[in-house]
Structure 1
């Protein structure tokens, strides 16, 4: 084998390795339990003037954390205690629950992208120093994937595109057909589903799903 033949073989091996890396469609999965995001006004109504959240643990997304503080949420049929607040504070307050939680509360929140609360369900939030009634803000979060722009380029997807994600853990096989892509410089690659969705497929945090592009209109 001469020098040119050896070089050709090397190039072929490199190309195969690159193709193998680019064919990976795996996305890590995180399970999101019920939680709420608060603005400053709501936080002070619930915990007192000048109160600030304290961090219990960092979340997978950079700069975000689970707070030590929890609240109660209430609807016409029932209430749920110890709902975790996630920080940092936002400009608009919002509560995210599963469908099972919604039944317990006696409410019918829509499936929405986080932050899209127009026309969503009302909810009462109760803290140690007071309560807040939101005439909108309760949603069931649409399954979504946080991506850095580099991840979006790798998967050849764009912000607000809808994809399918298949998950097979050996016991159950499920596919999430309407998974929303969310792209930001602040994001780290991770798919988020709620507890009902996780239970439906016996899925645990840390598993991987396989992303598949579909013909779909943007959300």
Structure 2
């Protein structure tokens, strides 16, 4: 993808502090397909909203599952809703060590030849042959945000984290949709490395 350079907007945005992007830290979680939801929780299973998430229409459900790998297990992994066409498990590099699997870093939905893992629920278990990934860091944007930042869906940008453990995050995917709310998503490993918490701010920088 082309990495764009929104110099004109950013110069003005920095003056008004509008370049700041809120951070959402993603812990390990699962998106289930309908058939896997039934296999794990029973024939009449439906995801129950536990807490709404920042992105419109998305929610953390009350349902929890266990992940099982060759070397270990991780319990109480939250299922997010609504259901999807394919089951997707998102974990961190640290989780890979605990489970004993090698999940690739992928954009959401890019599951071909990704890692195998077993999911265990109260009604049964499912082993997915592929679908376990380390989610690539990304920024959700509404179309109006994309115009302001001078980027398009699929672009890759560089993000600066300030503070005592400041870092640069390179190759951050921009995802643009009319239902998205401005927010950068990173996993727990990345957040801990940069001392970031939910609702902290980062900024896109020029090259």
Please indicate, yes or no, whether the TM-score normalized by the shorter chain is above 0.5: yes
Matched, 1:183 2:196: no
Distance, in Å, in 2 between the alignment partners of 1:210 and 1:187 is 18
Alignment partner, residue 212 of structure 1: 205
**CA shift digits 1:94-133 (9 cap, x unpaired):** 0000000011000111100011000100010000000001
Higher relative contact order, chain-length normalized (CA < 8 Å, sep 6+): 2
Alignment partner, residue 166 of structure 1: 160
Distance, in Å, in 1 between the alignment partners of 2:93 and 2:167 is 18
* Greater Rg by CA: 1
Alignment partner, residue 31 of structure 1: 25
What is the TM-score with the length of structure 1 in the denominator? Answer: 0.87
Report matched runs for 1:84-163 at 5 Å.
84-163=78-157
Q: Unaligned 5+ residue runs, structure 2?
A: 1-11
Q: Unaligned 5+ residue runs, structure 1?
A: 1-16, 215-219
SS of residue paired to 1:88: strand
* Residue pair 2:13, 2:19 contacting (<8 A) in 1 also: no
SS of residue paired to 1:44: helix
What is the TM-score with the length of structure 2 in the denominator? Answer: 0.92
Q: Cα offset for 1:18?
A: 8.3
Change in CA separation of 1:19 and 1:85 when aligned onto 2, cut-off 3 Å: closer
4+ residue runs over 3 A deviation: 17-21
